[in-house]
Amino acid sequence: MATWKRDFASGLVVLLPILVTLYVVYWVLSQLGRVAVLSDVLGNPFASALLTLVVFVLFVFAVGYLMRTALGSILEQYIDQVFNRLPGLRVVYNASKMAVETALTGTEDLQAPVRLEVWEGMRMTAFKTGKHTQDGRDILFLPTAPNITTGYVIEVEPERYEAVDESVEEALTRVLSAGFGENESGDLAASLLDAGDDKDEEA
Instruction: For 39-48, write each residue's pLDDT tens digit.
Output: 555 566 666 6
**Model confidence band, residue 2 (pLDDT cutoffs 50, 70, 90):** low
Q: In what order do the strands lie in the sheet with 122-132?
A: 151-156, 138-143, 122-132, 113-119, 161-163
Instruction: For 51-103, write each residue's pLDDT tens digit.
Output: 777 777 777 778 777 777 888 778 878 877 887 787 766 776 776 766 666 55
Statement: residue 195 has pLDDT above 50 = no
Average pLDDT, the chain: 70
The verdict on whether omega for the bond into residue 45 sits within 30 degrees of 0, i.e. cis, is no
Q: What pLDDT sits at residue 148?
A: 72
Q: What is the DSSP letter of 158?
A: G
Instruction: For 107-158, write each residue's pLDDT tens digit.
Output: 555 667 888 877 777 888 888 887 888 888 988 888 887 777 678 888 888 8
Residue 118 · residue 124 · CB < 8 Å: yes
Residue 189 · residue 179 · CB < 8 Å: yes
Determine phi and psi for 11, rounding to 5 degrees. -65, -40
Statement: residue 189 has pLDDT above 70 = no
Residue 109 · residue 129 · CB < 8 Å: yes
Q: What pLDDT sits at residue 70?
A: 81
Q: Residues 20-47: what's their mean pLDDT?
A: 66
Q: What is the DSSP letter of 118?
A: E
Give dist(CA 57, CA 51) in Å, integer.
10
Which pTM was predicted?
0.40
Statement: residue 159 has pLDDT above 70 = yes
